[in-house]
Structure 1
Amino acid sequence: MSSWKVLDGNSRQAPSCPASRRRRGDHRDRGAHRSGGQRRVGAGAETIPVPGAPGLGDPLFPLDGNGGYTVDRYALDFDWQAPRTPFEAKATVRATATQELSRFNLDFAGNTLHSVTVNGIPAEAVREGDELVVTPWLPLPRSRPFTVTVTYTADPTQMRHRDDAIEDYGWIPTPDGTVVYPQPNGAKMIFPSNDHPSRRAPVTFRITTPDGLTAVANGKLVSREARPGDRVRWTYDSEQPVSTQLVQIAVGKLTAVDRPTTNGVPIRDYVPNDLVDRTDAYLKLTPQHLRWLEQRLGAYPFKNYGVLVGDTDLAVALETQTLSLVPKADLLGTEVDAERTLVHELVHQWFGDSVALRTWSDLWLSEGHARFYERLYSEEHGGASFEAAMKTAYTNHNVWRRDFGAPAEPTEPNLFKRMRYDGSALVLYALREKVGAETFQKIDRAWVTQYRGKTASTQDFVGLASAISGEDMESFLRPWLYGPTTPPMPNHPDWVATP
């Protein structure tokens, strides 16, 4: 058996045994590579293995995600050393081929690659930008499981920047460790993955740290084991499938703070040791937030919840599944502002986490609902008028529409701009004005119930709204979501949108 080479950077070196490539059925069918389809020769001929598509064709991030397989589970092993210090890592990806597969891609960026195996056999691996192109020794049969193991050195200082609400994403250093901010497509800086919000899988995390530090991840703490050399291995299980953009891994001097179990949901926050007392007054409000949201949306969709306080200069919170990341600045200010952030990220557990995005153009559903209920809660608890906020949004809506795209038609640079927040909450407010508060609540409850644990799109929401209301919501919502100008607001003929 020939030796297969791991090629980093933009190297195009050929494998050591060209003849073996032909044996494996890798015909370099470029058309099939683009489509991710399968090629047949002659009527009734045997299917020839072809490459999986290098991306899912998302309108905003066409190369995010990969075709030809689905991930069944990720297992991540991180040997954490010290802040801003590279460490050894291993990702084991259990997947199932959805076609006869000659090669496939993983989204993977910026780490030093060591080895790649498929089903325990060394595989050729070539870096092409943010893609890791893997060619196994033998083609992978359709509908059969396979296992990819990637070893690499992770760089906990690697991050990228966006000129919108996201700002910095990827690894976010803290004084004594790290948190991660993978949204929108920064998971590939953390581990090799199928990095698109519509592709979800459960994750096992095994993080080894020096004694005295705490490791945290999504889901449930399974074990804490002493290891040689004054080290500790922390094992977490996400318990339910999670989108890569919602994965959380944190290391630092953290205190676990348990809150009262609420409606059967255990609540545990992780707070930097020196911030526990200063943040407790606001963090202890989570049970109240959870009860308020369950009254409107139904049962919380996961098995546990908590807040991870980020000891960083990061200005943006993130709805990482079951463990929302909230920067310390949001918890050291006013109660109104702190609660708005806490409620916003908790709402996302229903909208965006449990009901995942089909494409990034559906982000308005996630951010719009989070902003809608955040403002509604705030009004009921001493904050600003919800209607006044919506009137202000209506005034600016045409400007946002022109500058940032219609709510359901963002461009990649404008994805996390104002239109996806207040501008999208305004669409939901218009729907509530159209159908009435009672019917609107039925629509939202049906949405998070019918699509719980699934992926859904804007068109799915419009169809459900039509079915629940008994009216054609397509003709009402389409101009709001896609039109060139903002439609009149039902029940508010005096509201005027700036041209």
Structure 2
Amino acid sequence: MKSAMHRPVVICGVLALSFGLAGCERDAPRSAGASTPVPAPSTTAAGFGPTNASGTPTTAPTTLAPTPTPTMPGATSVPRQDSLYPKRGNPDVDALHYDLDLAWDRDSRTLTGTATVLVRPVTDRPVLELDLSHALTVDSVTIDGTAATAAVTPRHKLTVPVPMTKDVKRTVVIRYHGKPDPVAAPTTRSDLDEGLGLRATSAGHLWTMQEPYGAFTWYPVNDIPSDKATYDISVRAPKGWAGVASGTPASAPAGTNRFVSTRPVASYLTTLAVGPYTKHVATGPHDIPLTYWTRPSDGDELRVLRRSPRLLTWLEKRFGRYPFASAGAVVVDSRAAMETQQLVTFGGKRSARQTDDDTELTVVHEYAHQWFGDEVGPSTWTDVWLNEGWAMYIELLYQVDRDNIPQDFFTQWLARADGTARKKYGPPGHPDRDEFGTSNVYLPPANMLHQIHRQLGDKKFYALARAWVSQHHGQAVDRQTFTTFVNQHTGRDFTALINRYLDSTTTPRD
């Protein structure tokens, strides 16, 4: 994730003020792309049945036909209870695949959905429990085609009292509807003061931003980073609008947009947006299909997003082939940006002081996450530094390269920025659960990577980065996994250095 609060740490801006650095280069080359209006979808479908109050059990109609198991085999995970937010998610369930059929009615501000979830119980349990907002009404539930009762509790838990047997896969179909209701973000970051999860604007536009959690505000989900799954998302939007979701665009009936993710996805990396979107297409390195979804007011963002082929080429040269089948972005009414998998969710609320080259750094940051955070991510939020440290360092490396910033100057600046972040928020290896995503999980781990880079040199460091992704693709990992890998790959013991940079309250001097 990249936010307005982190923009001042980039070298153009605060460094220019405090160290006298000249301004950044402007007018980088742009790539060609085509713009195509999206066919007008049909009007949103009606609700699926009688409503119920939050927390009240609902019995599904017994006439429902059995639902076939999704065609995708899904992604097997090793779920872990999250260390920072233990009330979210369920380590006793491994969600393998989500098939979401969604419709948005902007007049009534109502989301209607059918979620078909393939689950693998990790242990024998007397009940199935997933995360789901209590603002959403469950209309029916079936398990393997048999009607079941369900309740949504005030703590945003969907409970289905059906015995679960270890490793026996079950197909759960939940039909639901309701009005989006974000939850409070566990942070003082100003860009997340509107909350986490799905929300509707005054004009009826729909969008979500959901790190470290919040997917449960729009579909039933095991909302923890360790449980990755495959996805098939279909969205019906009001006439003349378009529905957009994470994944690769796929064929769908008229009036519906469909997106498929065949590689494992953590729930916080999914996205949904509905609005007056136009679809713009381009081609990245080795023919990666690129899609940019923008509204009429998003001309500034589109101008920078068209630089994507060049930016992805820069990233591939250093970190290996882009890991997914497609790339792109959807612009929403936010001040933040989020590395949602294959389709970045990009905040369109641009500061008056922000230049195209500033915006470009955010694009690089979120694309870098596709390797570091999406393809390989943390198993619990204690290790969010694994995501943000890499993406922040790559963003800074790009700026150093783009703007010809001297290495000694960069090293000095990064050490100072590291110290400032630690002093305010503490060490990156011990994040505060009430201050999620603050600068201590961005800059100090970026400085740690910089020290490893300086000791290894370019060739060995970039080989290390490429091997980290290729050897752990699709996995959720932790600090020990990273440390062990670095030591084995380099043949050197970096344990003490890694621990110092992650645990120290002051900046280490290496």
Q: TM-score range by the shorter chain?
A: 0.7 to 0.9
Q: How many residues align?
A: 435
- How far is the alpha carbon of 1:216 from its aligned partner? 1.1
- How far is the alpha carbon of 1:357 from its aligned partner? 1.2
Matched, 1:464 2:485: yes
Assess, with a 3 A threshold, how the Cα gap between structure 1 residues 338 and 402 changes in structure 2: closer, same or farther: closer
- How far is the alpha carbon of 1:215 from its aligned partner? 1.2
Matched, 1:345 2:366: yes
Matched, 1:264 2:290: no
What do residues 24-45 of structure 1 show as CA deviations (whole Å, max 9, x unaligned)? xxxxxxxxxxxxxxxxxxxxxx
What do residues 435-466 of structure 1 show as CA deviations (whole Å, max 9, x unaligned)? 33332212111101111122221211111111
Match of 2:347 among 327, 331, 336: 327
Are 1:176 and 1:253, in contact at CA under 8 Å, matched by a contact in 2?
Answer: no
CA distance in 2, matches of 1:383, 1:196: 40
Matched, 1:135 2:157: no
- How far is the alpha carbon of 1:296 from its aligned partner? 0.5
Are 2:284 and 2:308, in contact at CA under 8 Å, matched by a contact in 1?
Answer: no
What letter matches 1:253 in structure 2? Answer: P
Assess, with a 3 A threshold, how the Cα gap between structure 1 residues 386 and 423 changes in structure 2: closer, same or farther: farther
Match of 1:105 among 117, 120, 129: 129
- The residue number in structure 2 matching 1:474 is 495
Assess, with a 3 A threshold, how the Cα gap between structure 1 residues 390 and 302 changes in structure 2: closer, same or farther: same
| Larger RCO (alpha carbons 8 Å, 6+ apart) | 2
Taking only the aligned residue pairs, the percentage that are identical comes to 28
- How far is the alpha carbon of 1:383 from its aligned partner? 7.2
- How far is the alpha carbon of 1:475 from its aligned partner? 1.7
* TM-score, L = length of structure 1: 0.81
- The residue number in structure 1 matching 2:303 is 281
* 363-372 or 329-338, larger mean C-alpha shift: 329-338
- How far is the alpha carbon of 1:330 from its aligned partner? 4.4
Assess, with a 3 A threshold, how the Cα gap between structure 1 residues 434 and 92 changes in structure 2: closer, same or farther: same
CA distance in 2, matches of 1:250, 1:83: 16
Moved segments of 4+, more than 6 Å = none
CA distance in 2, matches of 1:145, 1:432: 45
- How far is the alpha carbon of 1:261 from its aligned partner? 3.6
Are 2:128 and 2:159, in contact at CA under 8 Å, matched by a contact in 1?
Answer: yes
Secondary structure of the residue aligned to 2:91 is coil
Secondary structure of the residue aligned to 1:374 is helix
- How far is the alpha carbon of 1:279 from its aligned partner? 3.6
- How far is the alpha carbon of 1:146 from its aligned partner? 0.6
Are 1:7 and 1:127, in contact at CA under 8 Å, matched by a contact in 2?
Answer: no
Residue pairs, 1:82-231, within 5 angstroms: 82=106, 85-109=109-133, 110-128=135-153, 129-136=155-162, 139-161=163-185, 162-164=187-189, 166-167=192-193, 168-174=195-201, 175-226=203-254
Are 2:232 and 2:259, in contact at CA under 8 Å, matched by a contact in 1?
Answer: yes
Secondary structure of the residue aligned to 2:262 is coil
What letter matches 1:432 in structure 2? Answer: H
What letter matches 2:380 in structure 1? Answer: T
What do residues 72-91 of structure 1 show as CA deviations (whole Å, max 9, x unaligned)? 21111212111670232221
* 396-405 or 118-127, larger mean C-alpha shift: 396-405
Assess, with a 3 A threshold, how the Cα gap between structure 1 residues 331 and 290 changes in structure 2: closer, same or farther: farther
What letter matches 2:309 in structure 1? Answer: P
- How far is the alpha carbon of 1:468 from its aligned partner? 2.0
CA distance in 2, matches of 1:439, 1:357: 24
- The residue number in structure 1 matching 2:14 is none
Secondary structure of the residue aligned to 1:113 is strand
* 409-418 or 377-386, larger mean C-alpha shift: 377-386
Structure of higher CA gyration radius: 1
Gaps of 5+ in 1: 16-54, 227-231, 490-499
Matched, 1:299 2:321: yes
Are 2:294 and 2:302, in contact at CA under 8 Å, matched by a contact in 1?
Answer: no
CA distance in 1, matches of 2:301, 2:83: 40
* TM-score, L = length of structure 2: 0.79
Assess, with a 3 A threshold, how the Cα gap between structure 1 residues 113 and 383 changes in structure 2: closer, same or farther: farther
Secondary structure of the residue aligned to 1:123 is strand
Are 1:8 and 1:126, in contact at CA under 8 Å, matched by a contact in 2?
Answer: no
What do residues 89-145 of structure 1 show as CA deviations (whole Å, max 9, x unaligned)? 221111122233321210112322323222222323233312222212xx2332221
Secondary structure of the residue aligned to 1:184 is coil
- The residue number in structure 1 matching 2:105 is 81
CA distance in 1, matches of 2:168, 2:207: 35
Matched, 1:371 2:392: yes
Secondary structure of the residue aligned to 1:202 is strand
CA distance in 2, matches of 1:396, 1:343: 20
* 453-462 or 278-287, larger mean C-alpha shift: 278-287
- How far is the alpha carbon of 1:275 from its aligned partner? 2.8
- The residue number in structure 2 matching 1:60 is 84
Matched, 1:316 2:336: yes
Are 1:91 and 1:150, in contact at CA under 8 Å, matched by a contact in 2?
Answer: yes
What letter matches 1:98 in structure 2? Answer: V
Are 1:270 and 1:307, in contact at CA under 8 Å, matched by a contact in 2?
Answer: yes
Matched, 1:421 2:442: yes
Secondary structure of the residue aligned to 1:303 is coil
Are 2:181 and 2:217, in contact at CA under 8 Å, matched by a contact in 1?
Answer: no
- The residue number in structure 1 matching 2:71 is none
Are 1:56 and 1:64, in contact at CA under 8 Å, matched by a contact in 2?
Answer: no
Matched, 1:430 2:451: yes
Secondary structure of the residue aligned to 1:204 is strand
CA distance in 1, matches of 2:143, 2:388: 38
- The residue number in structure 1 matching 2:29 is none
- How far is the alpha carbon of 1:386 from its aligned partner? 6.4
Matched, 1:254 2:280: no
CA distance in 2, matches of 1:181, 1:318: 7
Are 1:368 and 1:425, in contact at CA under 8 Å, matched by a contact in 2?
Answer: yes
What letter matches 1:169 in structure 2? Answer: L
Residue pairs, 1:441-452, within 5 angstroms: 441-452=462-473
